[in-house]
Amino acid sequence: MASLQVRGLSVGYGPVRALRGVSLDVPEGAVVVVLGGNGAGKTTLLRAVSRTLAFHRGAATGGSIGFDGRAFSGPEGTAGLSPARAVAAGVVQVPEGRQVFARMTVADNLRAGALGARAGSRADIARSLARVHALFPVLARRAGQRAGLLSGGEQQMLALGRALMARPRLLLLDEPSLGLAPKMAATIAETVTEINASGTSVLLVEQNAALALRLASYAYVLEVGEVTLEGPAAELAASDEVRRRYLGLTGEDAPGPRTARTLDRWSA
Ligand code: ATP
């Protein structure tokens, strides 16, 4: 298990200030969610942690990121840890939009996930593959097919499976439910719970607050690059503001005790 500490993080893309003084913790073994609408800075936060901001012409302008007490970000003006070293340390990102290698087979996509040093020995890789196939049997059945032929939900499974091949200690998930039917999104959510139960900390960014608050123990709300609200997921799920703005409940139906109980149960 692993823990992440983000302190006062500010990020810019040239003149665009995407994050301002963001502080956040993922305690060891936790699932933590960051909620926020389009453009709030959720993806930027994950890029900063996975050290991939430079690929998008972004850069941290202040603050720090620590993983297990190790500094991920360098002193101001320096690049800090490389993306490859972040993966080697156990921080693996599943990017938004199910980015699989469409022309490669499902099996080769999974193999690609095991290219880094962290994947371990051949025996470790075989064990990781068996685990991915146990979590997502469809990826075993369709091993020889091109990934581009999979459904959206199956591609999300493959993207997640590929990340697991690198044996992450902290998994960064960017809107895994985006564009999926509710049943498929729920399946993905269950798998994330299973992955967490077997020892991986998770930082999840989501617009789907109902799903995310069910998964997470602690939640942050990001608005225009700043954390505006944070607390235990159960508390946020019950908060009028979150329910109105992120759970699609209006003032009239929001206070219903039945709804509140349901949300509490989800986030238990
Ligand atoms: P979404 O849910 O729409 O993906 P988000 O919360 O993930 O949104 P980010 O993608 O992190 O938000 O974007 C935060 C801000 O940074 C936005 O104003 C966005 O336009 C800007 N931004 C993101 N990537 C870049 C980039 N490569 N160059 C310039 N500006 C960018």
**Nearest atom within ligand 1 for CA of residue 47:** 11
Q: Using CA atoms, how far apart are residues 64 and 86, in angstroms rounded to an integer?
A: 14
* pLDDT tens per residue across span 24-66: 999 999 999 999 888 999 999 999 999 999 999 999 999 999 9
* pLDDT tens per residue across span 232-267: 999 988 887 777 777 665 544 444 333 333 333 333
List residues near ligand 1 (CB under 6 A): 13, 16, 18, 36, 38-44, 56-58, 207
pTM: 0.88
Q: Identify which of 10, 11, 13 to mutate to test ligand 1's pocket (most ligand atoms within 8 A of the CB).
A: 13
Residue 265: predicted pLDDT: 34
**Nearest atom within ligand 1 for CA of residue 44:** 11
In CATH, what number does 1-83+211-268 get? 3.40.50.300
Residue 263: predicted pLDDT: 37
User: Contact at 8 Å (CB) between 34 and 205?
Assistant: yes
Buried residues in 104-139 as b, exposed as e (16+ CB within 10 A): ebbbebbbebbeeebbbeeeebeebbebbbebbebb
* pLDDT tens per residue across span 130-155: 999 999 999 999 999 999 999 999 99
Domain boundaries, the chain: 1-83+211-268
Q: How far is the CA of 224 from the centre of ligand 1 (A)?
A: 10
**Nearest atom within ligand 1 for CA of residue 40:** 6
The fraction of the chain above a pLDDT of 90, given in percent, is: 63
Is 106 or 76 the better-scoring residue by pLDDT?
106
- Which one-letter amino acid corresponds to residue 55? F
Mean of the per-residue pLDDT values of the chain? 86
At 264, give phi and psi (nearest 5°).
-60, -40
Q: How far is the CA of 16 from the centre of ligand 1 (A)?
A: 9
Residue 239: predicted pLDDT: 82
